[in-house]
Amino acid sequence: MDYAATGQEALSRIAEASDLDTLEALRVEFLGKQGSISGLLKTLGKLDPEARKVEGPKIHGLRESVSDALAARKDALETAALDARLADETIDLSLPAPEAPRGTVHPISQVMDEIAEIFADLGFSVATGPEIEDDWHNFTALNMPESHPARAMHDTFYFPDRDAQNREMLLRTHTSPVQMRTMLQQGAPLRIIAPGRVYRSDSDATHTPMFHQVEGLVIDKQVHLGHLKWTLETFLKAFFEREDIVLRLRPSYFPFTEPSVEADIGFTLIDGKRVIGGDPSKGEGGWMEVLGSGMVNRRVIEFAGLDPNEWQGFAFGIGIDRLAMLKYGMDDLRAFFDGDVRWLSHYGFSALDVPTLSGGVGTPA
């Protein structure tokens, strides 16, 4: 049989293919599992040996020339596509720079810097940990074994695969695993904060699937609840830059602290707007929950390899987004993550506005 005509037709159709999709369709038509040339190859098996000797090289030759032509055409089309993109995406470096910088520092970044500045003054250093965590650091070591009901309250995002140690992997639901990581790495005594992103499957005007916390941890030999209360009050007064901050501590429950305390901050109503400060029990206003805290549970100290008869401490977890909203008067959390430049230029900060204790920890741009 003569395959020259078949080959000619295939090659000219390949040469005419004007885009990669068309070319791929041709490849399937000729060389795919059900392709015409693949079909010819299959007929070889049914031929007698003499005929096969004649036909075999012809069909293989045909297949080879078609496959070479496909590869060459693909190369040419890809090069042309890249050239077109390069021509399209040039930037004109001779254009003048914008008159004023357009970017602003996001309120979350600003507030994180403010928090770090205040705690640095109290002798805390900044620790970090991974956002992709394992189940042991996020839960088990914080006194939440597998069946613990508190796990369900965290609305955790799990990954499909486990890690090398067969631990379930997840997006950390709080910054508390950094407590464990830091104790394991640095031992005691310890005085750290750990700001960062956390993730929970939750979404409305006051909850986003990703939000920010700052963890605090102090481990030493004579630490008690009074130190915790003083630290929180001192921090909040410095953060809101006013002395009349009123804290209300409520007994609460966290598996990793005992006893556990949630803290509310008092606000008053001025022209219908919530303003932090003042004692709500003496007038109009109310309480806003801002953090969870407590004395580190003995079991957690043990998990960290320390002797709970020697070391104690306190820990707290503050919602950064919530604090930013309270301080700078935003009312919808979702706007924080929309990336709308109008919102950012209104609420953002100048890059030169570095928070310092002497200059003020937060003056809007």
Contacting residues toward ligand PHE, per CB under 6 A: 174, 176, 254, 257, 292-294, 315-317
Query: What distances in angstroms separate CA 114 from CA 10, 236, 242, one per listed residue?
Result: 69, 11, 15
245: nearest Cα among 265, 263, 269:
265
CB 21 → ligand PHE: shortest distance, Å?
Answer: 49
Query: According to the annotation, is 114 in a ligand binding site?
Result: no
- Report helix, strand or coil for 329: coil
Q: Which residues contact 22 (CB under 8 A, 6 or more apart)?
A: none
In whole angstroms, how close is the CB of 292 to ligand PHE at the nearest point?
3
Query: Among candidates 348, 326, 365, 333, which has minimal Cα distance to 107?
Result: 348
CB of 186 to ligand PHE, least distance (A): 18
User: What residue is closest to ligand PHE based on CB?
Assistant: 317
Q: Of the two residues 6 and 208, which places its CB atom closer to ligand PHE in the complex?
A: 208
Is the CB of 69 or the CB of 326 nearer to ligand PHE? 326
Nearer to ligand PHE, 27 or 174 (CB): 174
Q: Which is nearer to ligand PHE, 175 or 268 (CB)?
A: 175
Cα angle 204, 205, 207 (rounded to 5 degrees) comes to: 60
Number of neighbouring beta carbons within 10 Å of residue 176:
29
> In the bound complex, what is the minimum distance in angstroms from residue 81's beta carbon to ligand PHE?
49
Q: In this structure, how many other beta carbons lie within 10 angstroms of the beta carbon of residue 344?
A: 19
Which CB sits closer to ligand PHE, 192 or 344?
Answer: 192
d(CA 6, CA 8): 6
CB of 38 to ligand PHE, least distance (A): 59
Amino acid identity of residue 309, one-letter, is N
Determine the Cα–Cα distance for residues 359 and 365; give it in Å rounded to an integer.
Answer: 14
Q: Which residues are annotated as a binding site for Mg(2+)?
A: 258
Q: Which residues are annotated as a binding site?
A: 258
